[in-house]
Chains A and B, each alone.
Chain A
């Protein structure tokens, strides 16, 4: 067992290190240092110097923060691991050096895929191999179908890939054949690995925050293959959830019928979990992807819920939060580490460059500057740290055997949460812990009186939010209820007004919908979301049917492509997963989901852990874009299923089977 692990680690190290030694042995170059005055050597000799040679000639590039190593996916295969160009930029007093490293997209598929597969083998295998037999039905068919689906995504989003592939003709079948075969090889080997470890998939799910598994140059996540596999397996073996299947089929027909025109979307930090274009083929791919993802998560949970192990899960939460913090700090301090973490962990965005996670703004407000580490969003990683703290705290409260790792996890998560400056999570943790401890100790409250507790908690939260934003006291309700629409008017262009702006501004003040929207606006104001939601209103331009049924899952093309707004320079998401999903699936499915959620809350009203975690997750996704990232989507869904279906998941000594 130990020998296998050592072999795995050695193999991993070799795979990680070797590509950056791609030296041009045919020539002997005298490599100069890069300087502000002269980068001519790198202009004359692109793709001749390996990354290792560059670092040896410029050792300061390892630690000096004005060096930026960037993958050049649109480079030749021969150029892999070599410096394909150097650009000098002057930003204020700082001279920045951008060093492009050749990372051919085709090689990325194989290299990154291999690394992640090797990492996956570190997950312990199933105790009984027989249990995995059921999941092997239709295995080969599923492998071919997934490979086909992934290749189809390249075809569907060829406009995105044209910018990321070097000399690959997207009009030729030959190009797709190569990609298809690479996918078959990857999927086949990966399936063999994860099927034999299926029991531990839920226990090791927190690592999805650490290893996002995005192929450099692709809008694809390697880890999504796991969910696609189980999703397809669930479909082919006829696992019954007819209601969902029929509803999804009907709405999909509408989405496809509605996929007219073409609107490109710069995926940015949402890469791997959003469509790069609003078109028929791309919409078809993301409809299938989302369907299989949901079914896959459900299938993995239902097949492996009995294998859920609380101590392993908490251990992995602790390790993940600690590693996120350590790697984030290293990435911020060492440019070369920033590049490697981006590449080897398959990140959506380069790690943060700020070396000062404790920093406050220099203006009159002196606000804490959020620090996100290697995760693309500081708020979302704050939620993760918050979830870790809650889970670990509850575990510590209930367990007599606490590993030191749990304390390290609590410390790392607390620090990470403070760095991320997610104040909502901080407030929710405080309230949740207070309620949990009170009820568990039986000192003051009984679980049956939870509705009163909820009411008090809600009132306290409202007061606290009011207190944080003390100026709010002076503002009238009317002002707050008009906050979003007035912001929308600020951001809209004179010549282009979105249908949603017209709809809201046309509401009669006495109508019920106006009251509802006014209340949402007040909540948005209190959560400091008026501006973001105002921009959303100014942009969102649905037809009546699109408002009711959306325009397709994970597709922002229409929202960002139709109506121009006077938006700030940077790219801004809606800052509410509810608003994102309003664009994707529309009002009716969203309301149905909300009803299902409320019904779940009511049915499980005596399940304290479920109530706390689901309210924590819901509050965060209400005011944040979390559900636009694959990692939170998977973890929250798994978490929700876990705590919903097992009362006292953390405090109970009984396993799933016993319950």
Chain B
């Protein structure tokens, strides 16, 4: 719930949630009072939403990434690879030491 507030803003007064998943042909209506927002998914794809309902729908569907979050997750993954690489280096260094220097 906090995440929706962070990304889509506060829920408009009188907002009624509709179960859109039961209607695959549903077309979102633009809300002129709602400032359009750009959403991102985990793969960096982007979409613009023009109403609170559309925003909420996308966020709940996994479009809850921000460029900052994406970049941090990418950096964490890179860090993981660096750590694994360092572990491999350590392993080979120790093995070499054991085999050739004793």
Contacting residues of chain B (54-101) with chain A, CB-CB under 8 angstroms = 68-69, 71-73, 75-76, 79-80, 83-84, 86-87, 90, 94
Q: Is the CB of A178 within 8 A of B87?
A: no
**Chain B, Cβ-Cβ closest to A177:** B80
Per-residue interface assignment for chain A, residues 402 to 422, with 1 indicating a CB less than 8 Å from any chain B CB and 0 otherwise: 000000000000000000000
Q: Could you tell me the distance between the alpha carbons of A185 and B87 in the complex, rounded to whole angstroms? A: 6
Quick check: B76 and A77 within 8 Å, CB to CB?
A: yes
- Whether A76 contacts B75 in the complex (CB less than 8 A), given A181-B84, A185-B86, A185-B90, comes out as yes
Contact status of A178 and B75, CB under 8 A, knowing A185-B83, A188-B90, A189-B90? no
8 A Cβ contacts from A176-191 to B:
177-178, 181-182, 184-185, 188-189
Count of A residues near B, CB < 8 Å?
Answer: 18
| Contact B83 A76, beta carbon cutoff 8 Å | no
Is A167 in contact with chain B by the CB < 8 A criterion? yes
Q: Which interface residue of B73, B76, B80, B84 has the most chain A CB atoms within 10 A?
A: B76
Q: Are A78 and B79 in contact (CB under 8 A)?
A: no
Q: Are A78 and B75 in contact (CB under 8 A)?
A: yes
User: Of all chain A residues, which has the CB nearest B82?
Assistant: A110
A77-B72 in contact (CB<8A): yes
The answer to whether residues A178 and B76 also contact, given A76-B71, A78-B71 and a CB cut-off of 8 A, is: yes
Contact (Cβ within 8 A) B68 A76:
yes
For the complex, give the distance between the alpha carbons of A189 and B93 in Å: 11
Looking at chain B's contact residues, the main secondary structure is helix
Per the 8 Å Cβ criterion, residues 87-128 of A in contact with B are 106-107, 110
A167 to B69, CA, bound (A): 7
The yes or no answer to A600 lying at the interface (CB within 8 A) is no
Q: Say yes or no: A178-B83 contact (C-beta < 8 A), given A106-B76, A188-B90, A192-B94.
A: yes
Of all chain A residues, the one with the shortest Cβ separation from B87 is A185
**Chain A residues with Cβ under 8 A from B86's Cβ?**
185
Q: How far is the CB of A225 from chain B (nearest CB, A)?
A: 16
Give the bracket for the number of chain B residues in contact with chain A: 10 to 19
* Residue A168 is within 8 A (CB to CB) of chain B in the complex: yes
Expressed in whole angstroms, the Cα–Cα distance for A83 and B38 within the complex equals 27
For B76, the chain A residues whose CB sits under 8 A away are: 77, 106, 167-168, 178
- Do B83 and A182 have beta carbons less than 8 Å apart? yes
* Smallest Cβ-Cβ distance to B68: which chain A residue: A76
Q: Flag whether A166 is at the interface (Cβ < 8 A).
A: yes
Q: Using Cβ atoms and an 8 Å threshold, which residues of chain B touch A185? A: 83, 86-87, 90
Taking a contact as CB atoms under 8 Å apart, the answer to whether A184 and B80 are in contact is no
Contacts A76-B71, A167-B73 known; A181 to B90 CB distance under 8 Å? no
B78 → chain A closest CB, angstroms: 8
By beta carbon, the residue of chain B nearest A184 is B87
A594-624 residues at the B interface, CB under 8 angstroms:
none
In chain B, what residue has the closest Cβ to A178? Answer: B80
Q: Which residues of B are found within 8 Å of A178, using beta-carbon distances? A: 76, 79-80, 83
**Bound: A188/B73 CA distance, A:** 26
Contacts of B69 in A (CB 8 A): 167
Q: Name the residue on B nearest A76 (C-beta).
A: B72
Contacts of A76 in B (CB 8 A): 68, 71-72, 75
The minimal Cβ–Cβ distance linking A339 to chain B, given in whole angstroms, is 23
Given contacts A76-B68, A167-B69, A192-B94, contact A181 B87 (CB under 8 A): yes
Shortest Cβ distance from residue B98 to the other chain A in the assembled complex, whole angstroms: 11
B83, chain A: closest CB distance, angstroms: 5
B79: contacting residue among A106, A167, A192, CB under 8 A: A106
23 contacts across the A-B interface (CB closer than 8 A): A76-B71, A76-B72, A76-B75, A77-B72, A77-B75, A77-B79, A78-B71, A107-B79, A166-B72, A167-B69, A167-B72, A167-B76, A178-B76, A178-B79, A181-B80, A181-B83, A182-B83, A184-B87, A185-B83, A185-B87, A185-B90, A188-B90, A192-B94
**Chain B interface (Cβ within 8 Å of chain A)?**
68-69, 71-73, 75-76, 79-80, 83-84, 86-87, 90, 94
Residues of A within 8 A of B (CB): 76-78, 106-107, 110, 166-168, 177-178, 181-182, 184-185, 188-189, 192
Known: A167-B69, A178-B83. 13 other contacts (CB 8 A): A76-B72, A76-B75, A77-B72, A78-B75, A106-B76, A110-B83, A167-B72, A167-B76, A168-B76, A178-B76, A181-B83, A184-B87, A185-B83
